[in-house]
Structure 1
Amino acid sequence: MQGQGEVRVKIGELARATATKVETIRFYERIGLLPEPARTDGNYRDYGPDQLARLSFVRRARDLGFTLDQVRELLSLADDRDRSCKAVDVVAREHLAQVDQKIADLRSLRKELSGMIDQCGQGAISECRIIEALGPS
């Protein structure tokens, strides 16, 4: 039941308020990250403050690079307000380790690309060290 003064919005307004595409909101509903909303008499999706807060949480977690499974886990943990925060810390630390690994991988990639570029004599393609490095061994 809608509380007095509770702001209700349609999916387009929710999308604009959270900078999320309508298709993404529908996807999050299909995979269970967002509950199916109530419907208006005209069969429009009807969202309230709880859905806005939940979608904002999902968006922020995704912006930080958490996977959909990690977001699902974090939402489950957030829904159990009496539970220890330790489980949330574990998820965040695992994600941080993944981020650190990606940074290390990117640094390695950068070093390799930089080395290839440094070897480029900018002569003929037939003598190009970059093309040579990319070609079959």
Structure 2
Amino acid sequence: MRIGELGQATGVDVETIRYYEKTGLLAEPTRLANGYRSYSQAHLERLSFIRHCRALDIPLADITRLVFFMMQPSSDCGDINSLIDQQIAKVRARLASMQALENQLTTLRSRCDAEHSGLECGILHELVAAAHGEACACHTKPA
């Protein structure tokens, strides 16, 4: 199959496929007599694997490690477990950060409980206060 067909089959942009080839994450395909790339089922499977890992927000460096482990099926999977544990920790940290952001925005939103003019808007007052370096409802000024 050609690169456009591979891209359509996997939902991966053609430029991204070329990048994966350039970095060695995806093996370079054979070339036909006319110079076109010819991708195999193995390319399709590898690219689908990479795409799934990216959907799990696994960084390319870690995907490279996972591909290495796939090519060494007799190796111990402890490193794979560790890699995924690290990814889980990153996701949990982002979730905590997003929860804190939600709490800050909720606190900010509570400063204006009705429609007012911009001059009377508690949200704008808080945002302006923060811009002036003052403590605001959603961020306390550092000690």
TM range (shorter): 0.7 to 0.9
Question: What's the offset of the Cα at 1:130?
Answer: 2.5
Distance in 1 (alpha carbons) for counterparts of 2:66 and 2:126: 43
SS in 2 for 1:82: coil
Q: How far apart, in 1, do the equivalents of 2:94 and 2:65 lie?
A: 22
2:13: which partner in 1? 21
Give the match's secondary structure for 2:101: helix
Higher relative contact order, chain-length normalized (CA < 8 Å, sep 6+): 1
Moved segments of 4+, more than 3 Å: 132-135
What aligned pairs does 1:62-101 form with structure 2 within 5 A after superposition? 62-101=54-93
What is the aligned residue count? 129
Bigger radius of gyration among the two: 2
1:122 and 2:107 correspond: no
The normalised TM-score by structure 1 is: 0.88
Give the alignment's Cα RMSD to 1 decimal.
Answer: 1.3
Letter in 1 for 2:46: R
Please name the residue that 1:50 is paired with: 42
Give the TM-score of the pair, scaled to structure 2: 0.84
Partner amino acid, structure 2, of 1:124: S
